[in-house]
Structure 1
Amino acid sequence: MKVRIGEGASEDEASAIATALAKHLGVDIEVHVGGDDAPSATAEPPETEYPLDDDLGPTEREAALRAEIEDILQGGPEKYRERLSDQGKLFVRDRLDLWFGADGVTFEDGKFAHFDAWHPDSPEVEEYDPNDRLPADGMITGAAEFEGRDLHFMANDFTVKAGSMARLGVEKFLRMQQRALKSGKPVLYLMDSSGGRIDQQTGFFANREGIGKYYYNHSMLSGRVPQICVLYGPCIAGAAYTPVFADFTIMVEGMSSMAIASPRMVKMVTGEDIDMQDLGGPEIHAKYSGSADLVARDEEHARELVAGLLSYLPDKAGEKPPRSEPKPPKYSPDGIDELIPESPNRPYDVFDLIDRIADAESTFELKPDYGTEIVTAFVRIGGRPVGVVANQPIERSGAIFPDAAEKAAEFIWTCDAYEIPLLYLCDTPGFMAGSQVEKDAILEKGKKFIYATSSATVPKQTVVVRKAYGAGIYAMGGPAYDPESVIALPSGEIAIMGPEAAINAVYANKLAAIDDPEERAARERELREEYRVDIDAHRMASEVVIDEIVPPSDLREELVRRFDFYETVEKSLPDKKHGTVL
Structure 2
Amino acid sequence: MAINPKLLEELKERRAKARKAGGEGKLAKRHEKGMMSARERLETFFDEGTFQEFGMHAEHSCHRFGMEKKELPYDGVVCGTGLVDSRPVAAYSQDFTVSGGSLGRIHAKKICDLMDFAHEAGMPVVGVNDSGGARIQEGVDSLSGYGQVFFKNVLLSGVVPQVAIIAGPCAGGAAYSPALTDFLIMTKDNANMFICGPDVIKAATGESAELEQFASAAAHASISGNIHLVADDDKHAMELTAKLLSFLPSNNISDPPHEFQNLDLSDDPELNEIVPASSKEALDTMAVIDRLVDDGDFFEIMPDFARNIIVGFARIEGIVVGIVANNSMVKAGTLDIDSSDKAARFIRTCNVYNIPIVSLVDIPGFMPGLAQEQGGIIRHGAKMLFAYAAATVPKITLIMRKAYGGAYLAMCSSDLGADMVFAWPTAEIAVMGAEGAAKILYRKEIQEAEDPKAKTAELCEAYREEFSSPYQAAANAMITDVIEPAQSRAAVALALRNTLSKRDTRPPKKHGNIPL
On whether the aligned pair clears a TM of 0.5, the verdict is yes
SS at match of 1:73: helix
Q: CA deviation at 1:149?
A: 1.3
SS of the equivalent of 1:355 reads helix
1:315 counterpart residue number = 250
Q: CA deviation at 1:110?
A: 4.6
Residues 1:332 and 1:351: Cα distance change in structure 2 (over 3 Å): farther
Q: Which residue of 2 aligns with 1:569?
A: 502
1:412 paired with 2:350, answer: no
Residue type of the partner of 2:488? L
**% identity of equivalent residues:** 32
Q: Which amino acid aligns with 2:420?
A: S
- Structure 2 CA distance, aligned partners of 1:265 and 1:134? 30
Structure 1 counterpart of 2:488? 555
Instruction: Identify the residue that residue 177 of structure 1 maps to in structure 2.
Output: 115
The aligned residue for residue 89 of structure 1 is 35
1:528 maps to: 460
* 1:279 aligned onto 2:214: yes
Once the two structures are TM-superposed, the CA of residue 146 in structure 1 deviates from its matched residue by 1.7
Structure 2 CA distance, aligned partners of 1:438 and 1:86? 49
Distance of aligned partners of 1:328 and 1:258 in 2 relative to their CA distance in 1, 3 Å threshold: farther
- Please report how far the alpha carbon of residue 388 of structure 1 lies from its aligned counterpart in structure 2 after TM superposition: 0.7
**Which stretches of structure 1, 4 residues or longer, exceed 6 Å deviation after superposition?**
115-118
Aligned to 1:497: 432
Distance 2:141 2:15 in 1: 26
Out of 472, 476, 495, the position equivalent to 2:407 is: 472
Q: Distance in 2 between the 1:542 and 1:279 partners?
A: 51
Give me the CA root mean square deviation: 2.2
Structure 1 CA distance for aligned equivalents of residues 434 and 313 of structure 2:
33
Give yes or no for contact 2:314–2:322 (8 Å, CA) kept in 1. Answer: yes
Counterpart of 2:493 in structure 1: which amino acid? Answer: V
Which of 80-89 and 314-323 deviates more? Answer: 80-89
**Structure 1 residue 451 and structure 2 residue 395: aligned?**
no
CA distance in 2, matches of 1:111, 1:263: 38
Shift of 1:101: 5.5
Partner of 1:247: 182
1:346 match: 281
The counterpart of 1:441, out of the listed 376, 397, 410, is 376
Q: Give the SS at the match of 2:292.
A: coil
Q: Distance in 2 between matches of 1:101 and 1:262?
A: 38
Tell me which residue corresponds to 2:138: 200
Aligned counterparts of 2:36 and 2:181: Cα–Cα separation in 1:
23
Q: CA offset at residue 114 of structure 1?
A: 2.7
Q: In structure 2, what is the Cα distance between the partners aligned to 1:161 and 1:199?
A: 11
Q: Are residue 263 (structure 1) and residue 189 (structure 2) matched?
A: no
| Cα deviation, residue 80, structure 1 | 3.2
Among 367, 385, 388, the residue aligned to 1:432: 367
The aligned amino acid for 1:158 is: F
Provide, for residues 299-331 of structure 1, a one-character-per-residue CA deviation record: whole Å limited to 9, x for no partner. Answer: 2221221121111110000211012265999x9
| Structure 2: segments with no counterpart, 5+ residues | none
For residues 512 and 167 of structure 2, the distance between their equivalents in structure 1, rounded to whole angstroms, comes to: 36
Whole-angstrom distance in 1 between the partners of 2:378 and 2:103: 40
| 1:536-575, Cα deviation, whole Å (9 max, x unpaired) | 1122222322121112222211111111111101112222
Task: Determine the C-alpha separation between the residues in 2 that align with 1:152 and 1:317.
Answer: 16
2:61 touches 2:106 (CA, 8 Å); kept in 1? no
**Deviations 1:454-496, CA, capped at 9 Å, x for gaps:** 0000001111111110111111110201111111111111100
AA of the residue aligned to 1:562: A
Q: What's the offset of the Cα at 1:155?
A: 0.7
TM-superposed CA distance for 1:374, in Å, is: 0.8
Matches within 5 A, 1:100-115: 100=46, 103-114=49-60
- 1:79/1:324 CA distance change after superposition, 3 Å: same
| 1:128-147 CA-partner distances (Å, limit 9, x unpaired) | 6xxx4411111121112222
* Offset of residue 117 of structure 1: 6.7
Q: Distance in 2 between matches of 1:268 and 1:165?
A: 26
Name the CA shift for 1:528/1:520 in 2 (closer, same or farther; >3 Å).
Answer: same
Aligned to 2:319: 384
Structure 1 residue identity aligned to 2:223: Y
* Residues 419 and 102 of structure 1: CA distance in aligned 2, closer, same or farther (over 3 Å): closer
**Matching of residues 33-432 of structure 1 within 5 Å:** 56-100=2-46, 103-114=49-60, 132-206=70-144, 210-324=145-259, 326=261, 333-432=268-367
> What is the number of equivalent residue pairs in this alignment?
511
336-345 vs 210-219, greater mean Cα deviation:
336-345
Bigger share in helix = 2
In structure 2, distance between residues paired with 1:108 and 1:580: 38
Amino acid of the structure 1 residue aligned with 2:340:
A
Change (3 A) 1:332 1:259: farther
- The separation in 2 between residues aligned to 1:525 and 1:101, in whole angstroms, is 63
CA 372–146 in structure 1, closer or farther in 2 if over 3 Å, else same: same
How far did 1:497 drift? 0.4
Q: Which amino acid aligns with 1:563?
A: L
Change (3 A) 1:87 1:239: farther
TM-score normalized by structure 1? 0.83
Going from structure 1 to structure 2, the CA distance change for 1:196 and 1:424 (only over 3 Å counts) comes to same
Residue identity opposite 2:75 in structure 1: D
| Bigger CA radius of gyration | 1
Kept in 2: contact 1:115–1:135 (CA 8 A): no
In structure 1, list runs of 5 or more residues that go unmatched.
1-54, 119-123
Judge conservation of contact 2:53–2:78 (CA < 8 Å) in 1.
Answer: no
RCO higher in structure (CA 8 A, sep ≥6): 2
Q: Partners in 1 of 2:10 and 2:453 — Cα distance? A: 92
Which residue number corresponds to residue 37 of structure 1? none
Of 465, 469, 473, 1:540 maps to 473
Cα distance in structure 2, aligned partners of 1:318 and 1:101: 24
Partner letter of residue 63 of structure 1?
Answer: E
C-alpha distance in 1 between matches for 2:89 and 2:215: 29
